[in-house]
Every structure is written in C-alpha cells, then in structure tokens.
Amino acid sequence: MAFKKLERKINTFEKIRRQKQWRYFRIAAVLVIGLLIAGIQFNSKKIKSLPQLDTQSVVKIGTDKAVLTLEDGQQIPLEKGHQYQSANAQSNGTELVYESEVTEQPIRHNTLTIPRGGQFALTLSDGTKVWLNSDTRLKYPVRFPMTGPREVELLYGEAYFEVRPSSDTNGSPFRVIGQEQTIEVLGTAFNIQNYQSEPLTTTTLVEGKIKITTPDGAVQLAPLQQSIFEKTSGTRTIYTLEDVYDIISWKEGVFSFNDLALAEIVTVLSRWYDVKFEWKKPINQNKRFVGVFRKKQPLERILETLKSAEIIKSYTLDNQKVKLE
C-alpha cells in the first residue's frame, strides 16, 4: 500500500534489517537467481529443487478487501478495483480515507471489518493511519470531537497505528481501547495483535511512547519494547527486542518468519489464505523455520518450501483445507 510515510518507515528500519541479513546471506548467495524471482528466502538447511506449479493456484491469495458498517447498520463492501465515495470519506479499493475535520456534533461511529484473506488501510479524520490485518475489526468515530481524547476500539485482530501527534490536535491524546487493555499515546507508531482465538494480547512499540492500562495497573513502553498480556491469568510480561521488522512486516506485504514454530506459521497462513490446516498424522508442530515470503505468492509455493526444508513431509489441498503430514 502506497502511503507517504511508508518509505520513511522502511528507511527507519533499514539499518536494523542490515544487522540481521547475515542470517539469510548463505541462502541468498546460492539461491539468489531462482528464489528472488519467487520472492523467497530460505533457512540454511539444504533445499531440494522445487517443482513447477500450475499457474492457477488452488487456494486464492489474500487481497485488499473490507466491509464498512455505518452507524445505521448499512454495510458497504470495499475491495480492490472498486471506488467508494460518501460525504466525508472515499476509498480507492485499498484504503479508506476520512476528511480532516473535528466536530461539536454528536459523534457517529463506523466499523471496518477485514475478513480472513483480506487486508485494508484506514486514514482517520485526524490524519492517523491504521493498517488492518486479516480477521480484524476496528470501531472508530467518523469525526473526532473538538475536545477530549481521540478514541478508537480494536474489537479483535491485528492493527498497526501511526498516530497523529497530540501537538497537531489541540493536545488531544489518542487511545486504543481493547477488551483487556487501553493504550494511550501522544504520537507514535505501534502494533497490536489481539485475536479472539489466541490467549495473548501483544503490543509492540516501534517509536514514541505509549502507556498500557490493564486491570492490574499501568506500564509505559519505550521503543523496541513489547508487552505480552496473558488473557486468562491477567499477567503481563515486558520484553526488549533487537528489532521489530518480523512483527510489522505483514503491513509491507511480507511474511517474515524468524525461527518461528510450524504451529505459529500455519496460524498466520490460515488467516491470509482463508484456509484451515489439519494434521494427517502426529506431526512436530514445534519445528522451527527461518524464511521470508511475499504475501502475493501462491500458498502452494510456501508449502513446497516448508516441505523442501523438511519442516513438513507432505501436504494435500482439499477445497479450503490443507492437510499436513
């Protein structure tokens, strides 16, 4: 998605990414010609030759799509290749942009729902940009009030925020409200992952400063820190990361699996390709893999890579089900 700040964002992480490129150097040196065409980098295990795939993928690749629900309940599908325009918003099929305006009138809220197999972007009326991943729902005001906090509600899913600084909005703080926590920011960039089916809420700060409030208290994060909140126990752990590229690469059209377990990999793939994974036999779901894939390539190519890397033995596709062995 082409946003003005995206190039600046990529440049910000370029130095960090160079520090970790040595992990992929040996692979790139051997496979650079064939694999760069496919947009794949592999782990350092010996890779077998990948078979040619049919040009027609069995499983559809995810795309830009969302459902906009207005306050009166009307639902409007948004998708790539289709334009949408209203009195205060417009969409080119990949992003929904609201007019820059505040109001003293009663606040109206819209909801943007991203289905499995989808992604979308949103520019709020204050200029804050939000990237929304598959299987995500965000509730937000059409226009923010003239005074008081700017509040949105991440009902579930994953979102990356680039918040318009409070200095540009009459000092109004920005808050992201969730089921387990509330995040308050002054102007910053951060990622939240809070899926309904998963036991953890993960918040990662890229730049700036945020305060996270949960029933057991509040904590402030510094850049490159990550908060993991365990929903059942209500406990929270703070980690300091070397970099955040693996966490936010999804919004740049990339799956970056850095020593990730097979169980975690298939969870990510299932949302983007809208498929269900099943295990044909007892399989070691903790096998770990290092690799980078472009999100726009067929699922079969990724599965062939995992097979060649001996992460899985085989796979079969049946409608929207993928059976692994």
* pTM, two decimal places: 0.82
Q: Is 19 helix (H, G, I), strand (E, B) or coil?
A: helix
List, for residues 269-290, the tens digit of each pLDDT value.
Answer: 999 999 999 988 788 999 999 9
Instruction: Between 215 and 8, name the one with better pLDDT.
Output: 215
pLDDT value for 146: 81
Whether residue 43 has pLDDT greater than 80: no
Whether residue 47 has pLDDT greater than 50: no
Whether residue 44 has pLDDT greater than 90: no
pLDDT value for 25: 38
Residue 175 identity: R
Instruction: Between 303 and 165, name the one with better pLDDT.
Output: 303
List, for residues 219-255, the tens digit of each pLDDT value.
Answer: 999 999 999 999 999 899 999 999 999 999 999 999 9
Q: Is 47 helix (H, G, I), strand (E, B) or coil?
A: coil
- Hey, what domains does the chain have and what are their CATH numbers? 4-59+246-324 (3.55.50.30), 63-241 (2.60.120.1440)
User: How many of the other CB atoms lie within 10 Å of CB of 189?
Assistant: 22
Tokens read off for 266: 């298939």
Mean per-residue pLDDT over the chain, rounded? 84
pLDDT value for 265: 96
Q: Is 23 helix (H, G, I), strand (E, B) or coil?
A: helix
List, for residues 86-102, the tens digit of each pLDDT value.
Answer: 988 999 999 999 998 76
pLDDT tier, 168 (very low <50, low <70, confident <90, very high otherwise):
confident
Average pLDDT of the residues in 67-76: 96
Pairwise CA distance, residues 174 & 158, whole Å: 18
182 and 176 in contact (C-beta within 8 Å)?
A: yes
Pairwise CA distance, residues 316 & 300, whole Å: 10
Pairwise CA distance, residues 314 & 325, whole Å: 5
Residue 178 DSSP one-character state: -
Provide the percentage of residues in the chain whose pLDDT is more than 90: 66
pLDDT tier, 169 (very low <50, low <70, confident <90, very high otherwise):
confident
